[in-house]
Amino acid sequence: MDAASLLLGLLLGALLATAVTLAAVALLARRRPADTGLEPVHESLDHLHRLLAGIERDRATAHGELREQMGTVGQTSAQLRHETAALVTALRTPHVRGRWGEVQLRRVVEVAGLLEHCDFVEQPSGTNDAGAGVRPDLVVTLADGRQVVVDAKVPFTGYIDAVQATDQAVRAERIADHARQLRAHVDALAARRYPTAFRPAAPFTVLFVPSDGFLTTALEAEPGLLEYGFARDIVLATPSTLLALLRTVAYSWRQERLARDADQVLEVGRRLHARLTTLSGHLTRLGSALGTATARYNDTVGSYERSVLTAARRFDELGIAESEVPTPPPVEATVRALRPPVPQGEGDAPGSLTSRDGTGG
Higher pLDDT pick, 60 / 37: 60
**Mean pLDDT value across residues 142-171:** 81
* Closest to 155 in 3D by CA, of 70, 195, 205, 97: 97
pLDDT for 359 equals 41
pLDDT for 236 equals 92
**Mean pLDDT value across residues 50-57:** 83
pLDDT for 360 equals 41
pLDDT for 332 equals 74
State the burial class of residue 38 (Cβ atoms within 10 Å of its Cβ: 0-12, 13-18, 19+).
middle
CA distances from 91 to 36, 56, 97, 138, 236 (A): 85, 52, 5, 21, 20
Per residue in 291-321, pLDDT (tens digit) is: 888 888 888 888 878 777 777 777 777 767 6
102 pLDDT more than 80: no
**Total Cβ atoms within 10 A of residue 212:** 12
Per residue in 167-215, pLDDT (tens digit) is: 888 888 888 888 898 999 999 999 999 988 888 888 889 998 888 888 8
Q: What residue segments make up the domains of the chain, in order of their start? A: 91-237, 253-339
pLDDT for 350 equals 44
131 pLDDT more than 50: yes
- The DSSP 8-state label assigned to residue 328 in this structure reads P
355 pLDDT more than 70: no
CA dist., res. 213 & res. 42, Å (int): 72
CA dist., res. 280 & res. 285, Å (int): 9
pLDDT for 141 equals 81
CA distances from 134 to 124, 184, 210, 260 (A): 8, 18, 21, 34
pLDDT for 128 equals 87
Alpha helices in the chain (DSSP H): 3-31, 39-91, 94-112, 157-164, 168-192, 212-221, 225-231, 239-303, 310-318
pLDDT for 234 equals 92
CA dist., res. 285 & res. 291, Å (int): 10
Per residue in 219-269, pLDDT (tens digit) is: 988 899 999 999 999 999 888 888 888 777 767 777 777 777 777 888 888
pLDDT for 187 equals 93
Provide the 3-class DSSP secondary structure of residue 333. coil
Lowest mean pLDDT among 22-36, 48-62, 207-221, 340-354: 340-354
349 pLDDT more than 60: no
User: In this prediction, what percent of the chain has a pLDDT beyond 70?
Assistant: 74
Residue 345 confidence class, pLDDT cut points 50, 70, 90: low
pLDDT for 354 equals 40
**Total Cβ atoms within 10 A of residue 344:** 9
Higher pLDDT pick, 41 / 359: 41
Cα 302 → chain centroid: 81
Lowest mean pLDDT among 22-31, 46-55, 345-354: 345-354
**Euclidean distance between the first and final Cα of the chain, in Å?**
99
**Residue 156 · residue 87 · CB < 8 Å:** no
Give the side-chain half-sphere CA count within 13 A for 248. 7
Beta bridge partners of 236: 207
Residue 46 confidence class, pLDDT cut points 50, 70, 90: confident
pLDDT for 63 equals 81
CA dist., res. 177 & res. 72, Å (int): 39
4 pLDDT more than 50: yes
At residue 242, φ and ψ (nearest 5 deg) are -70, -35
103 pLDDT more than 70: yes
CA dist., res. 181 & res. 229, Å (int): 13
State the burial class of residue 143 (Cβ atoms within 10 Å of its Cβ: 0-12, 13-18, 19+).
middle
pLDDT for 190 equals 92
User: In this prediction, what percent of the chain has a pLDDT beyond 90?
Assistant: 6
CA dist., res. 236 & res. 320, Å (int): 115
95 pLDDT more than 60: no
Question: Ranked by mean pLDDT, which of 4-18, 24-38, 43-57 comes out on top?
Answer: 43-57
